[in-house]
Chains A and B, each alone.
Chain A
Amino acid sequence: MTTPTEPDNQTPEAEATVERAALQLARDPVLKRMLDEERVESGGLDTALLGRLLTYLRPHKRLAAVAIVLATVEAIAMTLPAWLIGLAMDQVSGSRREGAAVDWLVGVGGRFADWMSPAAATQERLSAMVVFFGLLVGAVWLLRWGVAVTTTYLVQKLGQLVVHDLRTDVHRHLTGMDAQFFHTNPVGRLVNRTTFDVQALAELFSDTFAQGARDLLFILVLIVVMLALDLPLAAILLATFPVLVAIGLIYRRYARPALRTNSAVVSRMNAWMAENLAGMRENHLYRAEDRRRAEYRSLTDAHQSSITYVIRAWGLLRPAMMITSAVATSCVLLVGYNRVVGGLVTVGVLLTFLQYTVRLWVPVRSLTEKFNQIQTALTAGERVMDILNARSSIVDLKQADPALTVKRGRIRFDGVRFRYPRKELDVLAGVDFEVEPGQMLALVGDTGAGKSTIARLVTRQYDVTAGEVRVDGRDVRDYTLNQLRSGIAIVPQEVVIFAGSVRENITLGRDIPDERIWECVRAVRADTLIDRMSDGLDSPLEEGGRTLSTGERQLLSFARALVVNPPVLILDEATANVDTQTELLIQRALEALTAGRTSVVIAHRLSTIQDADQILVLRHGKVIERGTHDELLRMGGEYARLVELHHGGVAEAA
């Protein structure tokens, strides 16, 4: 298309109408937010973004080159049949046409006619010529088929390759981001970036760019052919282009907001459905059925309203373009008549032109529709690029020594202060402690006292604001992240179970012999659980481990930590309610787990930490008491007071 890409700013009224209509029907806060999010920016094309996206084509240069060559061949093949038919027509009607290609073709046709019916009457020779041209058209059409199939396939393949690259890039990038990033970005958003937004970009490559390029090529070849055939007739057709493009732009202006609103409504309806199926029990318990029905009805009303706008825009586009091309055809007929009568062109040329005119609007319409996709895809592209541009603040430093590994497990905090990004208060306000190899450190304190933060600093999920965290006498930043984390196993409060086999869940893909796995499984007493499953270690687990109980998940998580045999273990105790028997089981497993290695335990139950070598009582980011269980009780401070309080509470209840 010849017109530059215009910014879409001149359309707020149209946009507002559709959206307002939809929002008035469905007063749905979520839908409103979705529409707001979609409207991020409707500026012009971002060429920098486009350029960066195009770099994804570089690894597939050869494929892209082949596709472009084939697309050119295809464009030529598209224009050939009409030209050949016109030529055949001239042979039939006895008109003569000039030109080297024409002479050559007619010559070949003549030899074909000679071969078919040597020395026959003129009429039979003519028939033979018609057959010749007919077969030629058939051959060209067959070629066109082959080229079109191959090109479409290659272009799709190209697009999918780019998507695969981009998708794995996004995933690789995200899995390297720091804890803060995951804290501020909900998982759902990241998932959408990785799959749906990348998919939208796929369509940009395979449908929009590629198909658009083919449409453009076709139009270009068409113009060249027409100009070569007859200038005045070509001029008529060229004159219709601006009209068609203008129609396309007007369509775009009305269709885009409608399409966008409609797609937002559709996703909201789907989300609504998923959610209400999941929350049906609540709907029943709280007699919300009527309210839900009304909600959904309002969404279907909004859907109907926005789809009507879409249909209306579409219902006007095609007729407007077809009327334009009918006008063009009429002009071609009128002018062509006079030129044929005047002997300036042959009837065949007129026929060729007529066939071109009726097809002219097809590529223009398809380009118009492509334009909407470009916008949508670029918005998605921008979101994906934002993700790829985000930098992790926790990376291997230059000083990091790849050979350095955690061996003994001595942990030392020196005047550690820490403040979370964009927060005003220090979570840790100067913490010092040292844990000897093989000892157990227990952290006690209220929510927000800084227990989890200490654990996060050891594995460098965050970097200290001031002070130093040392492992085996070296600053944690001297280790590579990989080596540091390989030496420290964490057992979080909420167990993560991946979809996959029991084995994969325990080894996390490491190559570990079965005997070793079983050894660990037995040590944490998860063997009875696995024995109960039909395929032992190969039994599949569902995502989130839904088929397992809380306690069973916990045991698997212990096995996962044990199998690494790490010098340091960080344990965030679970609070979830398990029955007394399971609790006992877990207790014993914990003993096996912590034996012989340094452990940092974030304590929620006291039974675990009575044997701790050191207990830190934290308040507002400071260590207010430290010592063993007995020492702290004897000290009669906060720890003892809390114990007393609870002791008393239950005793009184009894």
Chain B
Amino acid sequence: MDIVQDLRRIGAWIRPEAVRYALGLGSLLLVNISDVIAPVFMAVAIDLAEAELLSAAPKTPQVLAYLGLSSGDFSLVGAIACYLALHVAANAFRYPMLMNTAVPSHRVGQSVRNRVVDHLMRLSRPFYDRSRSGDLMSLATSDINATRMMFGPAILVGSDTLMIMSLVLVVLATLSWKLTLIAMIPLPIIALVTNALSHAEYNRFEDVQEDLATLTERARESYAGIRIIQGYAREVYDRDRFRAFSWRHFGLNLRLAKVRAMFDPTLDLMLGVSTVLVLIFGGMQVIDGTMTLGTFVAFLFLVRYLSGPMIGLGWSVSLLQRGRASLKRLHALLDEPIEIKDAPDAVEADTNGTLQVDGLTFAYAGRLDPGTGTVDLDAPVEPVLRDVGFTLRPGARLGVIGPVGSGKTTLISLLARLYDPPEGTVRFGGRDVRDITLASLRERVVVAPQDTFLFSDTVARNMLLGSPHQDTDHARELARLAHLADEIDALPRGYETLLGERGVNMSGGQRQRLAIGRAIGADPEVLVLDDCLSAVDARTEGAILDNLEEVFEGRSGIIVSHRVIAVERCDEIIVLEEGRVTERGTHAELIQGDGYYARIAAEQMKAAQSGLEEVTS
């Protein structure tokens, strides 16, 4: 059963906090008992007053009569003292109640968050190719919030409802069961209305949020593209366009406001209906003499306690419904299998092993639809690599060259096992990479990607991401090797400058050089540079290539590029075209041929001859 499974899951999450929850719900029970009994003493006081006024014997509310007490047993001060004491008690218990439900519910929320992040860290490339980051974001934020609301407010309010309903009903029924039934007439309606309203509110709120993202994107576009907008003197058009988006957002907000405006007044109206019923029918009973004036007053106050929980019930049911749906999605994520992981009998990689690629043919699973961003797993796919092979001995250097889309990056991704190569096609130290622990493989084979990602962190910590040494001096050394030192020194806070969203922006070329530094910092045996000099100008490129001579001392390397100058010093160069190795050899050998290599070498030389190629950027 679905619901049984959900309950079991909820139970499993809450179990570590079971004691706290028990304490919290216990406190809640005490709160409710005190709260519900207090108005009875108000009734006693009123009855005492009335008796005094009419000089008659005070009447006794039924509840007290059941307890064998009568109003006459209390002095006015005594009754009021009881009333006050009960209220103080009720509120004193409110604090532990909240601290033992809200706080642990947040703690459960944190463990959900941590579990989700643990799993996200372990999931591999193919999963991320299949999923949209927006979806993952909403899992990690709104879905976790919704489950937290289920673990916290929904449970608290739900229990509150059940407790106070039964308590109030008991007390009211002993006061007058007839009037109780009458006062309860609007209750189911309250629950239904609350539930309906909170669903509507939720949906419209989601619409507003979604639209806010669009609006934000429009604003971002205006400011990021300001040079074009101003350069073409199109400010007025852009403003009109933004105004239209802003106006649509206004409309959606108004739609939400309609539901929100209904919310409180409607619930208040339901309370009003109950009050009117009590007033009319209770008033008649007082006239009949079948009810004391005090009891009538107590009723008026207790009715409030009835409608409160009904509002709460509607609300908590909708929280539960949302929370369940979110928890289901979260578990779907947590159950997502980890495709690339250590084999059961995986071993550490040998040090200084030979990297061997043999008959490697590889196709991605499924095809990415650029329109929707989803992957169609059943779509027929063409292999990206066909029968690729090479051997990289310790200390040797391999150049990989080829046009855009020839499979260079895919080949690199397979070496670090971002994707799993077919069995036996990629070996390190003679062992299939699939039999090596991921950690030890990625310790030895490190890739500097073409378009690397910089985190919102300091320059130093970005540079030292994979490095065993975390000191700034080391970062300085890496910056020197990557020819980035001067530019970092020019930053406002040097190596402590924050990058990313809230910090400084780096240009494409700077990012690439940081990526190179980062990769060197990981101190790999095999250093793989995936076309990460493409946005660097020719002069800097030359300097970095010279520095790399020093870096490659004692390690092997793979340099992927579309430019001859970057690979010409390699021991072996392979040319990839449409996923196949079409040429291999040294620079001297290949330049003699009449293939792709010789052709682009000539083109690039001609470009340089005809002028100062890229000397300026």
Contacts and interface: CB of A to CB of B under 8 A. Distances in A.
24 contacts: A30-B457, A133-B279, A134-B279, A141-B276, A148-B261, A148-B265, A174-B222, A175-B223, A279-B453, A281-B125, A281-B449, A282-B455, A284-B125, A284-B442, A292-B121, A297-B117, A300-B110, A312-B99, A319-B92, A350-B46, A485-B231, A490-B232, A575-B535, A577-B562
Contact of A607 (B229, B269, B607): B607
A85 B279 contact: yes
B609 interface: yes
B53 A340 contact: yes
A303 B109 CA distance: 10
B91 A186 contact: no
Interface string B449-465: 10011111110000001
Given A152-B260, A288-B466, A645-B612, A187 B233 contact: no
A460 to B, nearest CB: 10
A496 B224 CA distance: 8
Contacts of A126: 287
A489 B269 contact: no
B469 interface: no
A92 B612 contact: no
Interface stretch (B133-141, B321-329, B424-432, B578-586): B133-141
B279 A130 contact: yes
B456 A168 contact: no
A275 B133 CA distance: 10
A315 interface: yes
Contacts of B565: 649-650, 653
B543 to A, nearest CB: 13
Interface stretch (B9-17, B209-217, B386-394): B209-217
Given A191-B216, A578-B404, 7 more contacts: A130-B280, A145-B269, A148-B265, A157-B257, A275-B456, A347-B50, A577-B404
Interface stretch (B63-71, B80-88, B169-177, B547-555): B80-88
A101 interface: no
Contacts of B137: 270, 273-274, 277
Interface of A is mostly: helix
A276 B212 CA distance: 23
A281 B126 CA distance: 11
Contacts of A156: 253-254, 257, 260-261
Contacts of B280: 130-131, 134-135
Interface string A133-176: 11101100110110011101100110011011001100110111
A444 interface: yes
B502 A543 contact: no
Nearest to B498: A29
B358 interface: no
Interface stretch (B199-207, B236-244, B308-316, B342-350): B236-244
Residue among A161, A327, A604 having the largest count of chain B Cβ atoms under 10 Å: A604
A85 B275 CA distance: 9
Residue among B99, B241, B611 having the largest count of chain A Cβ atoms under 10 Å: B611
Contacts of A521: none
B250 A575 contact: no
Interface in B38-73: 38, 42, 45-46, 48-50, 52-53
Nearest to A142: B269
Interface residues of B, number: 162
Contacts of A311: 98-99, 102-103, 106
A614 interface: no
A653 B466 contact: no
A491 B392 CA distance: 45
Contact of A446 (B117, B293, B542, B616): B616
A579 interface: yes
A213 B447 CA distance: 62
Interface string B514-547: 0000100010000000010011011000100000
A643 to B, nearest CB: 5
B143 to A, nearest CB: 12
A157 B252 CA distance: 11
B500 interface: yes
Contacts of B218: 499
B219 A33 contact: no
A195 interface: yes
Nearest to A498: B221
A281 B450 CA distance: 12
Given A134-B276, A286-B518, A92 B286 contact: yes
Contacts of B265: 144-145, 148-149, 152
Nearest to B568: A653
Given A88-B283, A308-B103, A508 B141 contact: no
A609 B614 CA distance: 13
B416 interface: yes
B474 interface: no
Contacts of B531: 577
Interface stretch (A43-51, A221-229, A328-336, A415-423): A328-336
Contacts of A489: 231-232
Interface in B281-316: 283-284, 286-288, 293, 296-297, 300-301, 304
Contact of B272 (A144, A160, A293): A144
A509 B501 CA distance: 31
Given A191-B223, A274-B137, A333-B80, A481 B228 contact: no
B253 A160 contact: yes
A23 interface: no
A481 B233 contact: yes
B612 A643 contact: yes
B153 to A, nearest CB: 12
Contact of B128 (A280, A327, A340, A508): A280
Interface in A333-385: 333-334, 336-337, 340-341, 343, 347, 350-351, 354-355, 358
A315 B95 contact: yes
A34 interface: yes
A130 B404 CA distance: 88
A24 interface: no
Nearest to B278: A134
Contact of B616 (A175, A300, A326, A451): A451
A496 B227 contact: yes
A168 B219 CA distance: 10
Interface stretch (B376-384, B475-483, B598-606): B598-606
Contacts of A153: 257-258, 261
A445 interface: yes
B46 to A, nearest CB: 7
Nearest to A282: B453
B423 interface: no
Nearest to A173: B239
A199 B249 CA distance: 11
Interface in B90-143: 90-92, 94-95, 98-99, 102-103, 106-107, 110, 113-114, 117-118, 120-122, 124-125, 128, 133, 136-137, 140-141
A575 B512 CA distance: 14
Given A164-B250, A286-B465, A277 B120 contact: yes
B239 A168 contact: yes
B564 A653 contact: yes
A292 B272 contact: no
